[in-house]
Structure 1
Amino acid sequence: MSFIRKFIAQESARRRDVLLAGAYGLAGIAAAGMPLGALAQNQNRPTVAWSYRDRNNPYWHSVVSGGESFLESAGLKKSDLVHLLNNGSSEKSLADIKALLTKTGGRAAIACDANDAPNCRPIVESVQKAGGYVSTIWNKSADLHPWDFGDNWVSHMSWSDEGPAEQTARILFNAMGGKGAIVGIGGIASNNPAIERRTGLMKALKDFPGIELLDYQPADWATQKANQVMQGLLTRFGNKITGVFCANDAMAYGVLEALKAEGRRLPMVAYDGNAEAVDLVIKGELLATCFTNPYWGGGVTAALAYHAAIGTFKPSQEPREHREFYGPTIVVTQKDAAEFKKKYISSTPVYDWKDFWGPSRGPIKYAAKS
């Protein structure tokens, strides 16, 4: 469990860092040590940036590693990627992107997770106004679409989390023998994946009347906060808790540490398919996790923004299923975890970064309006 304690220590350090960084206008870029505009001045290429939460999180590390792999395939260096680290702040995400656009004169190709759905609109409006290009993942509102922003909002990729989350919840409930009481640990409340994963859990609960949901609390995707939330839930409910649903792997690590401190071990499921979580599935400490191939997602998102910026393709001439689409998801259980690790973790699949939509799972679908 040493890696769990390391996660908690890292998150404490990150919170201190972002408070200090707030005193500066563009902390994410400064921290990256990247001379802004270097790419725009070199061969007239756009500056390429990834705006994301933090790289200490294995999920985001994999995302950005994919982005770096794409850059190398395009004849650039890993160090050419500008890292806009928002540390979970939507305000910082928007401020850093605006600063990048100003510094580069809009000559930028940006890959971005807006951090929460409401923040997506001001980001894409800022990019369009500056004449830059952006491809987004995960978070946007249902009434907001890339094709309403011409070519500048290149694409949006999300993952259909509701079904896989329901599947993992059913794995948890079956392991509990269809009876008992669980707690849920969720992500940032306004995040699309947090909403969908909770919805999946609630759907599964309808078929298991013997399972009681004692409480569901957000822990903002963070290991340390999940540790604190779980400590509070253990104080409130004690031995009544017989299972745990976690909306991502990083939070599951904090929950496991809280349980260990109480000398307890409970059936639990998580989400993201991080290397550490897959090892925990192999060991039987997690029942299941879900893999969304963040490496491919990070690479192809950067690739789409870059190729639109240099004119390789014109987004507005693409069908709508190429502008909004689902990424792939694989549910990982103990039965298949070793084989999964061999294919996706011990070795990294080689991707053609010009095959923008190969592994995708079709157009994003929205609930019908009543």
Structure 2
Amino acid sequence: MSFIKSFIEQETARRRDFLLASAYGLVGVAASTGVVSAFAQNKPTVAWSYRDRNNPYWHAIVSGAESFVESVGYKKSELVHLLNNGSSEKSLADIKALLSKTGGKAAIACDANDAPNCRPVVEAVQKAGGHVATIWNKPDDLHPWDFGDHWVSHMTWSDEGPAEQTARILFQAMGGKGAIVGVGGIAANNPAIERHRGMMKALKDFPGIQLLDYQPADWATQKANQVMQGFLTRFGTKITGVFCANDSMAYGVLEALKAEGRKLPVVAYDGNPEATDLVIKGELLATCFTNPHWGGGITAALAYHAAVGTFKPSAEPKEHREFYGPTVLVTQKDAAEFKKKYISSTPKYDWKDFWGPGRGQIKYVAKP
């Protein structure tokens, strides 16, 4: 059985178990251990609110956070995991529950799941007197400096440019002609919007390539598999290339193509270990690495150090409150070297160098 098929089956089982646990009120119970331990040590509780540890991207995020908490004297098990499984409502409810349990003495790293959920999250943290550092999703008109020291920072990745690069690699591999389909993330997610925008920007320079359809698959392997099956039913052999907005969805796309006996050029995004191997083998043309281990660790570090008073966020310049994380394009030419540097061994990071690998202050695209 291929790892892709196993990945889809694991995703299905995980979703089933999550729904059962939710029904019996079990989700989030394990988080209390880290809260109690932090109280005993008179330290802030450190938590990460995220989607799903079975996803390689989020696993890398949280591995970085575990590395950070160990560097400041916590046990790895003391990091509190607030798993929202893609639910913004659960994300907010879990954060509010943690703030209530800790009396606001919490350092929270968070992806709000979608942009609209960011405001209630940071408002809840500010009201409780906690500290939160966020990644990926927030409205363009919402900024950490409007919340004093409680919203420590926001990091995102400049996805439009790298997504445009991966799309150009796809279109060039197609010889500048043919027809593609696209598989995107959650519609309200900032990275989903930027990656779609990057693909569309590249498409303007390739008049010989037609976009047949672009559908969201919510970053999920199984849903991407279903979306791709639908594309194959509707368009058949007209499809000559596939743009995927993340690696996990690309796995579902590749499995759907394999079931139909088709081999097409496919590009993805995230630089997960499995995707890197697929690039080396030539089954994916390219992916784009956002260094989630560093991102997960430094986001937790920012929240923690603000909570303990190592630095005062409101005294920092705006480029330290909102900034881009690093990206690395991975193609077959450099995938083996990339794997050796970032996957086979994890680089050692200085968790007090908050902004070193960053790529400068976030810039906003003017709305038409």
Q: TM-score range by the shorter chain?
A: over 0.9
Secondary structure of residue in 1 paired with 2:23: coil
1:206 to 204, 207, 226: 204
Of residues 332-341 and 11-20 in structure 1, the stretch that sits farther from structure 2 once superposed is 11-20
> Structure 2 unaligned runs (5+)?
none
Deviations 1:60-91 (A, max 9, x none): 00000000000111111110100000000000
- Secondary structure of 1:264's partner? coil
8 Å Cα contact 2:167-2:243 kept in structure 1:
yes
* 1:26 and 1:96 in contact (8 A); partners too: no
Matched, 1:91 2:89: yes
Q: Which residue of 1 aligns with 2:35?
A: 36
Shift of 1:5: 1.1
TM-superposed deviation, 1:131: 0.4
Question: Which of the numbers 105, 126, 129 marks the counterpart of 2:127?
Answer: 129
Root-mean-square deviation (Å):
1.1
Q: Which amino acid aligns with 1:19?
A: L
* Percent identity for Structure 1 against Structure 2: 83
| 1:283-294 aligned within 5 A | 283-294=281-292
Cα separation, 2, equivalents of 1:156 and 1:7: 31
Please tell me whether the aligned partners of residues 110 and 134 of structure 1 are also in contact (alpha carbons under 8 angstroms). Answer: yes
Distance 1:349 1:303 in 2: 17
The match for 2:114 is 116
What whole-Å deviation, never above 9, does each CA across 1:138-174 have from its counterpart, x for those lacking one? Answer: 0000000000000000000000000000000000000
Deviation at 1:21, TM superposition (A): 2.9
Letter matched to residue 3 of structure 1: F
Q: Is the 8 A contact 2:46 2:304 kept in 1?
A: yes
Tell me the alpha carbon deviations over residues 169-196 of structure 1, each in whole angstroms, 9 at most, x when there is no partner: 0000000000000000000000000000
> Which residue in 1 is equivalent to 2:352?
354
Question: Residue 257 and residue 31 in structure 1: after superposition, are their counterparts in 2 closer, same or farther (change >3 A)?
Answer: farther
Runs ≥4 residues deviating over 6 A: none
Aligned partner of 1:12 in structure 2 is: 12
The match for 1:171 is 169
Aligned residue in 1 for 2:229: 231
Q: Superposition pairs for residues 1-370 of structure 1, below 5 Å? A: 2-23=2-23, 27=27, 29-32=28-31, 34-42=33-41, 44-368=42-366
Q: Whole-Å Cα distance in 1 between the matches of residues 186 and 264 of structure 2?
A: 24
User: SS in structure 2 opposite 1:140?
Assistant: coil
CA distance 1:84–1:130, change in 2 (3 Å) = same
Cα deviation 1:229-280 (Å, max 9, x = unaligned): 1001000000000000000000000000000000110001000000000000
Helix, strand or coil for the counterpart of 2:242? strand
Distance 2:32 2:144 in 1: 31
For 1:265, give the aligned amino acid: K
- How far did 1:24 drift? 5.6
Contact 2:181/2:214, CA 8 A, preserved across alignment: yes
**3-state SS in 2 of match to 1:37:** helix
Between the aligned partners of 2:105 and 2:119, the Cα distance in structure 1 is 20
| Displacement of 1:31 | 3.9
In the superposition, the TM-score normalised over structure 1's length comes to 0.98
Aligned residue pair count? 368
User: What secondary structure, in the 3-state scheme, does the structure 2 residue paired with 1:111 have?
Assistant: strand
Distance between the aligned counterparts of 2:306 and 2:146, measured in 1? 16
**1:351, distance to aligned residue in structure 2 (A):** 0.2
CA contact (8 A) 1:321 1:363 kept: yes
2 CA distance for matches of 1:324 and 1:316? 12
Q: CA deviation at 1:15?
A: 1.5
Say whether the 8 Å CA contact 1:26–1:95 is kept in structure 2.
Answer: no
Q: Tell me by how many angstroms 1:35 deviates.
A: 4.6
Once residues 50 and 348 of structure 2 are traced to their aligned partners in structure 1, the CA distance between those partners, rounded to angstroms, is 23
Task: Tell me the distance in 1 between the aligned counterparts of 2:67 and 2:85.
Answer: 23
